[in-house]
Amino acid sequence: MVDIASSLTNLQEKIQLLLKRTALMEKENLQLKASLTKEQNHVKELMDEVQQGKSKIAAAMVNTASMQPSDKEALIKKVDHYIKEIDTAIKNLNP
């Protein structure tokens, strides 16, 4: 009889431990879900920013396409000049 009582007490302790673990896991699950939602919203915001950037690039390309040939040539020369300056700076950094 004493053996049954100790077994029941032992079983009850294990059940209480499992209940505590379950409660902790449920709490952690809720925190993880909240964190996931927050990160998904952040990713959505970043994707929106990327899309806006793509739209701006597309608009800039349209503006470049509709430029006068002389203006377009001047812009190309300016960009080429900047590229040459960058190349020179890179060469100076690497002796």
72: nearest Cα among 80, 82, 53: 80
Total number of domains in the chain: 1
Q: What 8-state DSSP symbol labels residue 95? A: -
* Within a domain: 92: no
Average pLDDT over residues 49-64: 78
Average pLDDT over residues 27-42: 93
Q: What is the mean pLDDT of the chain?
A: 85
Average pLDDT over residues 72-82: 81
From CA 10, how far away is CA 82, in angstroms rounded? 78
Which two tokens mark 7? 């077994």
From CA 15, how far away is CA 9, in angstroms rounded? 10
Domain holding 45, by residue range, is 2-67
Is the entire prediction scored with pTM above 0.75?
Answer: no
Q: Is the pLDDT of residue 95 over 70?
A: no
* Within a domain: 91: no
Q: Is the pLDDT of residue 1 over 90?
A: no
In terms of pLDDT, which residue wins out, 92 or 51?
A: 51
